[in-house]
Amino acid sequence: MTIPTEGKLLRIFIGEADHWHGKPLYEAIVLEARRRGLAGATVIKGFMGFGAHSRVHTAKLLELSQDLPIVIEIVDAADRIEAFMPDLEAMVGDGLITLERAEVLLYRPGRA
């Protein structure tokens, strides 16, 4: 699989406690991206953050949160990202989705 030099970076900001059909939302999004053959996805867990409700979520020991911030990043061709958007928008309840231009410099499987 190749990605054109001019790709798109999709970022999805959700909470760790968000679910979709009985599984963590971040897992459901990554598995759906894989099922659709997108180039790849990475899930990043944050230590602290807040969103539209201005509620602070933190990983401090004394204030252990069960809903830490999660960011999912997906880079692929614009048409493949756009085709994924309707299903993604249906999956994300509370959250933020951003899209930006990405210059793809290298995309290849690792050496065996």
What is the reported pTM? 0.85
Contacts 24+ apart (CB under 8 A), 44-50: 44/70, 44/71, 44/72, 44/73, 45/16, 45/69, 45/70, 46/70, 46/71
Which pLDDT value is given to residue 37? 94
Q: Which fold has domain 6-103?
A: Alpha-Beta Plaits (3.30.70)
List the chain pLDDT tens, one digit each, 112 residues. 777 789 999 999 999 999 999 999 999 999 999 999 999 999 999 888 877 776 776 666 555 567 889 999 999 999 999 999 999 999 999 999 999 999 998 888 777 6
Measure the CA–CA gap between 71 and 30, rounded to whole angstroms.
11
Any idea where the domains of the chain sit in the sequence?
A: 6-103
Measure the CA–CA gap between 51 and 37, rounded to whole angstroms.
30
Which pLDDT value is given to residue 52? 72
